A and B are shown apart, each in its own frame.
Chain A
Amino acid sequence: MTNIQFMLQIEQSAGGPDVAVEIGGMPIRLRTDDAGFRALLEKRYAGFVRPAGDSFFALDVDVVHPERALSRAEELRVWNDGGVWRLERGDFRAEWDPRVGRGKILQSLSPYAIDSVLRIVHTLIQAKEGGFLLHGASAIRNGRAFVFSGVSGAGKTTISRLAPADSVLLTDEISYIRREGDSYCACGTPFAGELARLGANEAAPIERLYFLAKGPKNNIDPIDTGDALRMLLRNILFFADDEDLVKMVFRSACEFLGRVPAFRLTFYPDERVWDLIQ
């Protein structure tokens, strides 16, 4: 078979042009024969979808019809199997080989399955790079990014909803933290929370990390480093009890706090809180 024939065969098996979903400057090519699924991707990740081009990372997606349980695991299970990560939940089974940046997914036609796999794959990619995904809202103001971390109910959606017109919301739910040399930047993500709004596909250097709490008035307080690390680790997306991964995430969290100042932001839920965030 000539190279040309081989290329033609690949194109035919893909059933149309591949797309890549680019989050945090990391495009992942998603190969699928399923036109319905491709349409779902383009709708769900609007602003983050681009032509696959020369994306280094790739996932082959097989969509099963009709929808059926693909794993007996109701809760998400992620484990390392001789260097290959295996991911399972009721609505998908997937694997990811970080050595070659390739993986595959068997899933139902559900946006939640691909969403989960993308979060995990990005977590694994960033763990090696010193970055991480964090339960937190983030926004850019005056060219600098502010990250607001907290557990469910801490106020991520509220502070996002109150963001002023001169800010750019990167996410109300999952912040994407990338290390760039000695500094960190926050990148927009399509992982929306209660606000149900995709973040902007933009990035900026992180000025501050705030741990959110709602209160009777607006206040920014210093926070003990140990407490900051404890809270940061609690909010970093983490999927597996894997020794190497735990060590990488711990190191990333420590180095992040060594470079980005962290504070506790107690706020009363109205727009005046943004007067403090400049």
Chain B
Amino acid sequence: MSPTYIARSSAIAARMLGGEMMIMSAVDSTFFTLNEVATAIWRAADGRTPLEEIVEREVCRDFEVEPEEARRDAEQFVSELSQHGILLVSDEPIPANQPGTAESQ
């Protein structure tokens, strides 16, 4: 199975407020509040690190969760955010200067 790469979209507004990550899609104004685990994944979404590695490094190591369960939850989370254009998903690394990524701005 090929690895999944994720990158933060530029079409969002995000802010830590009261210890929570708040994200709003600038495309459809959908609003999300991320919990601690989701925030860790969100922050690690650099387009270069495979999702599996992010889960292992940011989730399994710091939170008490089984790897398989963590992977499944992460995939669901990524799928949902990508549907709203908040995360970009690819089976190849996503260049930082690719239009649409937060890093490209």
Q: Name A's B-contacting residues (CB within 8 A).
A: 224-226, 229-230, 233, 238, 241, 243-244, 246-247, 250-251, 254, 257-258
Contacts and interface: CB of A to CB of B under 8 A. Distances in A.
13 contacts: A225-B20, A226-B18, A229-B33, A233-B24, A238-B29, A241-B27, A243-B26, A244-B26, A247-B13, A247-B26, A250-B13, A250-B15, A250-B26
Interface in B1-43: 11, 13, 15, 17-20, 22, 24-29, 31, 33
Given A233-B31, A243-B27, A246-B29, 19 more contacts: A225-B18, A225-B19, A226-B20, A226-B22, A229-B31, A233-B24, A238-B29, A243-B11, A243-B26, A244-B26, A246-B13, A246-B24, A246-B25, A246-B26, A250-B13, A250-B15, A250-B26, A254-B15, A254-B22
B31 A251 contact: no
Task: In the A-B complex, list the 7 residue pairs whose CB atoms are closest, starting with the nearest.
Answer: A225-B18, A250-B13, A243-B26, A246-B26, A226-B33, A247-B13, A254-B15
B39 to A, nearest CB: 12
Q: Which of B19, B25, B26, B31 has the most CB of A within 10 A?
A: B26
Contacts of A224: 18
A9 to B, nearest CB: 45
Interface in B71-85: none
Contacts of B24: 233, 246, 250
A225 B17 contact: yes
A257 B22 CA distance: 12
Main secondary structure of the interface of B (DSSP, over half): strand
B17 A229 contact: yes
A243 B28 CA distance: 9
A241 B22 contact: no
Contacts of A244: 26
A251 B13 contact: yes
A257 B17 contact: yes
A210 B19 CA distance: 21
B37 to A, nearest CB: 15
Interface of B: 11, 13, 15, 17-20, 22, 24-29, 31, 33
B22 to A, nearest CB: 6
Nearest to B11: A243
Contacts of A226: 17-18, 20, 22, 33
Contacts of B33: 226, 229-230
B31 to A, nearest CB: 6
Nearest to B16: A254
Contacts of B18: 224-226
A243 B26 CA distance: 5
Given A243-B26, A250-B24, A254-B22, A230 B15 contact: no
Q: Which of A225, A238, A251, A257 has the largest count of B CB atoms less than 10 A from its CB?
A: A225
A233 B24 CA distance: 10
A238 B33 CA distance: 20
A229 B13 CA distance: 13
B42 to A, nearest CB: 15
